[in-house]
């Protein structure tokens, strides 16, 4: 069944940059033959790990006939210099590409792969740089606010702190500060990072990306960089990988749009994946892509174009063309006390009012989705029975309904304090079942005088593809917290918001349902409206 595999060798290599910084890489390649096309990953977590949390080991890729190069970026691992995050990567990319192409084991062809941080390093380079032959960015984006650290005007709390502290621990290890490493590790193990994380970042990595992001106001667009990608690079063959429960999905979809707009023909796969747990078959799709574009292999009949995983039917399908779907919200004021009371009415007009009392002592927890500590599918039926969540349901569908696109909620609301959150989820309530299968979540933070004025707000939710069967119902749930996906809103103008404190206020949120709309905007409809 299994044939003998080629023996693989490995060695370290060093690139000395013009400023004297040494970038250290590890190389894997077949013991005999060559030279080979190169696969390059540039990452900050240690080249020996090589992102094996999601990718096959570099030795496997070498057995497929590639030179694999995994580099410690500037200031990380064994590379010298000071780590400055994304801002440093463009200048180091061009030199690294030239070095890899000139390696004796390389035949001059270069492809890039990697996810998250190493997904973005593939795309950053100085103007007029020679692009690689192909890319495979996964779960990454260009916007440091919307794609990396914030949603709806709120900082990612659990994710931002957890990732920032991981980088802080790596820096502590580099400088030999074992006590700092243990303090950081202990906070992640016992959960105290959710309260103490900002102080740990400030003390142990004050120049780090995560602490820098926490100092920026998510409402001020000018404080946040968006990294440019050259048009010539966007035209190159590209395989984009995203997950329905990954926080960077919006960034992947925007890259897809940018590449198409530049005249490229990117492939896109959005599957049943969280940031760290992917679907079977990813490696074979990547291998097919790199064989095609680095070896000119015949891959006719393989996956092309765009493929999306249907969450409820557990199958792949291509993008479909559909029109915007709209529902209004209706209630006589009991949607918080009876999860079957509120109504989602197709088209029509919103009706009634609803009141949500947010108690910061027992904030609504985040469950599943793309931002919580336990991302992925989730049954939120128990949460929907809480009296600080308002639920609205369609009548049972009389035929199959496919939901594909970007959900958004338009709703007029106000609070009795100068700060509130709208934390929204969409779920499938299957016929004959008491569960609520969560499909999508979204958050909007409102601060200042706007919070105490009746205004329309727009909440953008995570994109989705799901099919509801005859007899199923679609449920919309609205709460005023999603802890610890985002910090608990204290009811004032504080940025960022963190864990509950004695200063946090009980907030009464009034929802004015007249003119309310839940809309599903098709994936193929172009640019989304801004919240």
Distance CA 495, CA 457 (A): 19
Do residues 249 and 362 both lie within one domain?
Answer: no
Is the predicted pLDDT of residue 528 greater than 50, yes or no? no
DSSP-derived secondary structure letter, 453: S
Distance CA 37, CA 66 (A): 5
Tracing tokens 């499938």 back to the chain, one arrives at 428
Q: Is residue 1 part of a domain?
A: no
Average pLDDT over residues 485-491: 97
Confidence at residue 526, expressed as pLDDT on a 0 to 100 scale: 37
Is the predicted pLDDT of residue 57 greater than 70, yes or no? yes
The alpha-helical segments, DSSP class H, found in 205-353 are 209-214, 231-234, 249-261, 282-295
- How does pLDDT run across 103-150, given as a tens digit for each residue? 999 999 999 999 999 999 999 999 999 999 999 999 999 999 999 999
Do residues 98 and 198 both lie within one domain?
Answer: no
Do residues 417 and 380 both lie within one domain?
Answer: yes
Range(s) of the domain holding residue 130: 8-142+227-304
Average pLDDT, the chain: 95
Q: The domain spanning residue 294 has which CATH number? A: 3.40.50.1820
Do residues 370 and 292 both lie within one domain?
Answer: no
Of the candidates 424, 162, 120, 374, which has an alpha carbon nearest to the alpha carbon of residue 251? 120
Distance of CA 120 to the CA centre of its chain: 12
- How does pLDDT run across 318-368, given as a tens digit for each residue? 977 778 999 999 999 999 999 999 999 998 889 999 999 999 999 999 999
Confidence bin at 248 (pLDDT 50/70/90): very high
Q: Which two tokens stand for residue 140?
A: 């990454």
Q: Is residue 54 part of a domain?
A: yes
Do residues 214 and 341 both lie within one domain?
Answer: no
User: Percentage helix, strand, coil, to 5, in the chain?
Assistant: 20, 35, 45
Average pLDDT over residues 92-108: 97
Q: Reduced to 3 states, what is the DSSP secondary structure of residue 519?
A: strand
Q: Reduced to 3 states, what is the DSSP secondary structure of residue 419?
A: strand
377 close to 434: Cβ distance less than 8 angstroms:
no
Q: Which residues pair with 345 in a beta bridge?
A: 328
Q: Is residue 316 part of a domain?
A: no
Give the total number of structural domains in the chain: 3
Distance CA 439, CA 245 (A): 9
Q: Which residues pair with 329 in a beta bridge?
A: 344
B/e letters for 98-122, b = 16+ CB within 10 Å, e = fewer, are ebbbebebbeebbbbbbbbbbbbbb
pLDDT-above-90 percentage for the chain:
92
Do residues 218 and 234 both lie within one domain?
Answer: no
Do residues 104 and 214 both lie within one domain?
Answer: no
Tracing tokens 């404080």 back to the chain, one arrives at 223
Higher pLDDT, 246 or 524: 246
392 close to 330: Cβ distance less than 8 angstroms:
yes
Backbone angles phi, psi at 139, to 5 degrees: 50, 60
- How does pLDDT run across 385-396, given as a tens digit for each residue? 999 999 999 999
Q: Reduced to 3 states, what is the DSSP secondary structure of residue 458?
A: strand
Q: Is residue 320 part of a domain?
A: no
Q: Is residue 83 part of a domain?
A: yes
Higher pLDDT, 495 or 485: 485
Rg, C-alpha atoms of the chain: 24
Is the predicted pLDDT of residue 529 greater than 50, yes or no? no
Cβ partners under 8 Å of residue 368, min gap 6: 245, 374, 375, 376, 377, 378, 380, 438, 441
Distance CA 162, CA 141 (A): 19
Distance of CA 432 to the CA centre of its chain: 33
Distance CA 229, CA 93 (A): 12
Cis status of the peptide bond prior to 474, with omega within 30 of 0: no
239 close to 286: Cβ distance less than 8 angstroms:
yes
Q: Is residue 529 part of a domain?
A: no
Q: Which of 304, 338, 354 is the last residue of a domain?
A: 304
**Strand ranges in 256-364 using DSSP code E only, listed in sequence order:** 267-274, 306-310, 315-317, 325-330, 342-346, 353-358
Q: Which residues pair with 267 in a beta bridge?
A: 239
Confidence at residue 34, expressed as pLDDT on a 0 to 100 scale: 87
- The pTM score is 0.95
Do residues 235 and 207 both lie within one domain?
Answer: no
Q: The domain spanning residue 423 has which CATH number? A: 2.60.120.260
Q: Are strands 437-447 and 455-460 parallel, antiparallel or unpaired?
A: unpaired
221 close to 146: Cβ distance less than 8 angstroms:
no
Confidence at residue 341, expressed as pLDDT on a 0 to 100 scale: 95
Element containing residue 194 per DSSP (H, E): helix 193-204
Confidence at residue 87, expressed as pLDDT on a 0 to 100 scale: 93
Do residues 36 and 89 both lie within one domain?
Answer: yes
DSSP-derived secondary structure letter, 226: B
435 close to 379: Cβ distance less than 8 angstroms:
yes
Q: Which of 273, 304, 335 is the last residue of a domain?
A: 304
Distance CA 116, CA 72 (A): 15
Do residues 285 and 369 both lie within one domain?
Answer: no
Q: Which of 222, 241, 262 is the last residue of a domain?
A: 222
394 close to 348: Cβ distance less than 8 angstroms:
no
Confidence at residue 322, expressed as pLDDT on a 0 to 100 scale: 75
Confidence at residue 2, expressed as pLDDT on a 0 to 100 scale: 62
**Strand ranges in 122-200 using DSSP code E only, listed in sequence order:** 134-138, 150-151, 154-155
Do residues 373 and 282 both lie within one domain?
Answer: no
Backbone angles phi, psi at 245, to 5 degrees: -115, 30
Tracing tokens 């304090």 back to the chain, one arrives at 417
- Give the chain's end-to-end CA distance (angstroms, integer): 55
Confidence at residue 395, expressed as pLDDT on a 0 to 100 scale: 97
Q: Is residue 508 part of a domain?
A: yes
Average pLDDT over residues 301-307: 73
Distance CA 499, CA 486 (A): 9
Q: Is residue 319 part of a domain?
A: no
Do residues 200 and 346 both lie within one domain?
Answer: no
- How does pLDDT run across 148-203, given as a tens digit for each residue? 999 999 999 999 999 999 999 999 999 999 999 999 999 999 999 999 999 999 99
């Amino acid at each position: 069944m299994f044939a003998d595999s080629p023996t693989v060798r490995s060695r370290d290599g060093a690139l000395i940059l013009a400023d004297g910084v040494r970038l250290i890489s590890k190389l894997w390649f077949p013991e005999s033959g060559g030279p080979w096309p190169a696969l390059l990953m540039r990452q900050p977590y240690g080249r020996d790990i090589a992102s094996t949390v999601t990718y096959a080991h570099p030795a496997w890729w070498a057995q497929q006939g590639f030179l694999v190069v995994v580099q410690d970026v500037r200031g990380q691992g064994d590379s010298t210099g000071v780590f400055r995050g994304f801002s440093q990567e463009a200048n180091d990319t061009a030199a690294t590409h030239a070095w890899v192409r000139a390696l004796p084991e390389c035949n001059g062809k270069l492809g890039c792969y990697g996810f998250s941080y190493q997904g973005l390093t593939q795309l950053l380079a100085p103007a007029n740089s020679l692009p690689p032959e192909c890319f495979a960015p996964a779960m990454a984006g260009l916007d440091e606010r919307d794609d990396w650290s914030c949603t709806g005007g709120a900082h990612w709390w659990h994710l931002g702190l957890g990732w920032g502290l991981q980088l802080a621990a790596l820096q502590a290890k580099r400088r030999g500060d074992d006590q700092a490493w243990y303090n950081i590790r202990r906070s992640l193990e016992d959960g105290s990072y959710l309260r103490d994380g900002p102080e740990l970042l400030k003390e142990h990595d004050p120049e780090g990306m995560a602490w820098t992001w926490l100092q920026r106001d998510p409402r001020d667009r000018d404080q946040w960089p968006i990294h440019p990608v050259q048009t010539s690079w966007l035209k190159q063959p590209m395989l984009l990988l995203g997950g329905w429960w990954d926080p960077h999905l919006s960034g992947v979809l925007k890259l897809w749009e940018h590449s198409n707009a530049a005249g490229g023909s990117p492939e896109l796969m959005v599957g049943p994946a969280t940031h760290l747990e992917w679907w079977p078959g990813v490696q074979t799709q990547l291998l097919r892509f790199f064989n095609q574009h680095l070896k000119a292999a015949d891959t006719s009949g393989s996956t092309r174009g765009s493929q999306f995983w249907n969450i409820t039917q557990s199958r792949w399908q291509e993008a479909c063309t559909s029109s915007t779907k709209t529902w209004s919200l209706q209630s006589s004021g009991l949607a918080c006390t009876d999860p079957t009371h509120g109504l989602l009415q197709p088209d029509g007009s919103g009706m009634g009012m609803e009141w949500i009392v947010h108690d910061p002592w027992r904030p609504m927890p985040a469950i599943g989705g793309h931002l919580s500590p336990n991302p992925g599918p989730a049954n939120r039926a128990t949460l929907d029975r809480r009296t600080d969540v308002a639920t609205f349901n369609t009548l049972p569908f009389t035929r199959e309904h496919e939901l594909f696109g970007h959900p958004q909620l338009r709703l007029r609301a106000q609070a009795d304090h100068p700060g509130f959150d709208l934390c929204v989820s969409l779920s499938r309530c299957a016929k004959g079942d008491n569960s609520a299968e969560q499909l999508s979540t979204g958050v909007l933070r409102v601060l200042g005088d706007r919070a105490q004025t009746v205004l329309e707000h727009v909440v953008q939710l995570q994109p989705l593809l799901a099919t509801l069967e005859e007899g199923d119902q679609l449920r919309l749930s609205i709460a005023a917290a999603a802890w610890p996906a985002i910090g608990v809103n204290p009811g004032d103008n504080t940025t960022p918001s963190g864990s509950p404190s004695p200063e946090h206020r009980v907030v009464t949120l009034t929802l004015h349902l007249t003119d309310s709309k839940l809309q599903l905007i098709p994936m193929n409809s172009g640019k989304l409206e801004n919240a």
